[in-house]
Amino acid sequence: MSIDPETLRQRLLEAAMQGISPGQVFKELGITPDNPRALEELMKQAGFDPSSFFPDGQVDMPGMINNLTKDLSPEVKQQLSQVIQGMAYELNNGQPLPPDVEEFLKGWGKGN
């Protein structure tokens, strides 16, 4: 199933008005951890080249996130961290995040 960014945006707005979580929308559209192809396709449609983020299969994800969000206030980072943790928990069927990811999100959410 191919999802374009506008469809995702519209569905997220509708869901927010209906009290449906973003994680549920991602699941509904097939964007889940066990379907990385869906996210890759969405990124391509949004104009991002997934291979440019991971040229050697490795990436400093914390560094990349910190660089992309350096101008956000600690409050906004904390809110985003909570949203990401909630979505990840929901998309991962209640399984905890890997400890290093959980630790990063907690620190990032405190403005670190």
What pLDDT, on a 0 to 100 scale, did the predictor assign at position 58? 65
Name the most confidently modeled range: 22-26, 40-44, 96-100: 22-26
Q: Which of 18, 19, 17, 41 is nearest to 29 (CA)?
A: 41
pLDDT in tens, 37-83: 888 888 888 887 777 766 666 667 677 777 778 888 888 888 888 88
Cα separation, 16 vs 10, whole angstroms: 10
Cut 0.85: pTM above it: no
- Position 112 confidence tier, pLDDT thresholds 50, 70, 90: low
Cα separation, 81 vs 72, whole angstroms: 12
